[in-house]
Structure 1
Amino acid sequence: MSYRLVSCLTISKDSVSAQAFYISPLELEFPLLLLLPLFAELIVQQHLMRYKRTYRYDAVFALGFVTVYDQLMEGFPSDEDRDTIFQAYIKALKEDPEQYRTDALKLEEWACSQTSSSLVEFPSRDGEVEAILKDIAERAGGKGSFSYSRFFAVGLFRLLELANATEPTVLEKLCAALNINKRSVDRNLDVYRNLLSKLVQAKELLKEYVDREKKKREERSETQKANEVVKNCLGEYQYVIQ
């Protein structure tokens, strides 16, 4: 069963981004609809970040958002629906979904080839990703527009994760190299970990619901088939006795 997004969301319309997402002509399969209120709230919050005077898109922020989004949508069967919501969400913010995906992949591939040491040594090295990180560090240091956010913190965490940089001091060194307040990062990562824990529980409940509904549909289908068999048998019997 499909539903139009406009018929199932009740969200704040205080932001243009929220309205754009709200009226997107999406056709989505249940149970993806259960997550739409969450995305609606996220986009209202992200709208405030997006239109701050100091906001400027960067690849670490994109990596953080893509990481959160993919974890939220993990386990859902329809790749098409996942991509549809992603496209609608980013376009509602008047940004480029392909750029988000491309930059996130670029940073992931780079981080996979790094070590705990090389990850924090980007200021002294050359390369495309190193240049991106240097630009962020310069802007965060007060020489340009930079707006820290929770998604940026998640992006940093993802870099550490892919580089297998498990030592606590690595995050401290990376924050220092990027001119980012580590306390803010720690606080946001605690929120992120708590979100992941709740998400696991929510997905378990959702899976139980989906399995239960699937079983009901199968039972209804079997009952319908049995009724058709009985009906056909009765029809043949009536034909014989005529």
Structure 2
Amino acid sequence: MAAVTSVSFSAISQSSSDKRAFCTVARNLGFEGSRFRSSFSCHYVGVRASNSTSRMVIHCMSTSTDVPPTVADTKLNFLKAYKRPIPSIYNTVLQELIVQQHLMKYKKTYRYDPVFGLGFVTVYDQLMEGYPSDEDREAIFQAYIKALEEDPEQYRTDAKKLEEWARAQTPSSLVDFSSREGEIEGTLKDIAERVASGNFSYSRFFAVGLFRLLELSNASEPTVLEKLCSALNINKRSVDRDLDVYRGLLSKLVQARELLKEYVDREKKKQEERAESQKASETVTKCLGEPQFVGQ
């Protein structure tokens, strides 16, 4: 059984209300965990007896040839790839997401696909909107995906291709992908085939990816989602459930960003007050340190 340990990120303090708002967002993106099992075969290789004791030597060999990394391994990979402190209001969400995505990735049926990539990129960009540095936000994205042993450039490239494709679609052409040829159409056909054969790992990121396709193609009618799910052989009730969660998250994200802005403003004001106080103290010290001459 693999041991799972906790690795904490560097953090700065924040109010409990700020943290609770983002924690709620992270938990609502949760995935069902998966367990990893390895089978072992054992055989006796020798028995030696004496007057006092009997000893049996057993060699055990794992039949698993591809042991997945632990959650702790993935977290450690992230820490190695991005070593700068992350404000804990974001750090908490990232920790939750990386654990959930780790568990999902190492399911036997998992295989990356562009719709999943679009869903993750959409969620990540919305969660990290307002991060103090655009450069750091992208560096964190790179470190996060690489920690999962995947290609961050593929995520970004696939998300961009799907977004451009969806903008050029109408509600009818979106659901009629199976009758046309093209790179994205081929991707969607492959997903439909894998779902039909039972070789597909559904997730909320995939549902968000579908939602983004509908959004960009201006497909607001509920029947369009039903037809798209049918064309992809996806259970619509699962998608409806996860999209309800996602829509709720969007409103929570607005609240969380407002809390974050208030937090940043408070910290900025405190820094300015400390700077003014320090400047005043230095002025007083300077004045007291100069010799005072009284008329002679």
Same fold, TM-score > 0.5, yes or no: yes
Following superposition, the deviation at residue 211 of structure 1 comes to: 0.5
- Change in CA separation of 1:84 and 1:240 when aligned onto 2, cut-off 3 Å: farther
| Contact in 1 for aligned 2:9/2:85 (Cα 8 Å) | no
1:39-118 to structure 2, matched below 5 A, reads 39-118=94-173
Whose RCO is larger (CA < 8 A, sep 6+)?
2
Q: Aligned letter for 2:267? A: E
CA RMSD, Structure 1 to Structure 2 (Å)? 2.4
* Aligned mate of 1:120, from 175, 179, 187: 175
Structure with greater Cα Rg = 2
TM-score by length of 1: 0.87
CA distance in 1, matches of 2:287, 2:102: 63
| Contact in 1 for aligned 2:10/2:85 (Cα 8 Å) | no
Q: Aligned letter for 2:218? A: N
Aligned length: 232
TM-score by length of 2: 0.72
CA distance in 1, matches of 2:146, 2:173: 35
Deviations along 1:141-169, one digit per CA (max 9) or x if unpaired, are 11x62111110000000001111111111
| Contact in 1 for aligned 2:111/2:200 (Cα 8 Å) | yes
- Change in CA separation of 1:231 and 1:241 when aligned onto 2, cut-off 3 Å: farther
Deviations along 1:176-207, one digit per CA (max 9) or x if unpaired, are 11111100000011111222222222221121
CA distance in 2, matches of 1:92, 1:67: 19
Q: Aligned letter for 1:73? A: M
Partner of 2:255: 201
CA distance in 1, matches of 2:188, 2:86: 40
CA distance in 2, matches of 1:18, 1:164: 42
Query: Which blocks of at least 5 consecutive residues in structure 1 are unaligned?
Result: 9-13
Bigger helix fraction: 1
Query: Which blocks of at least 5 consecutive residues in structure 2 are unaligned?
Result: 1-6, 12-34, 36-68
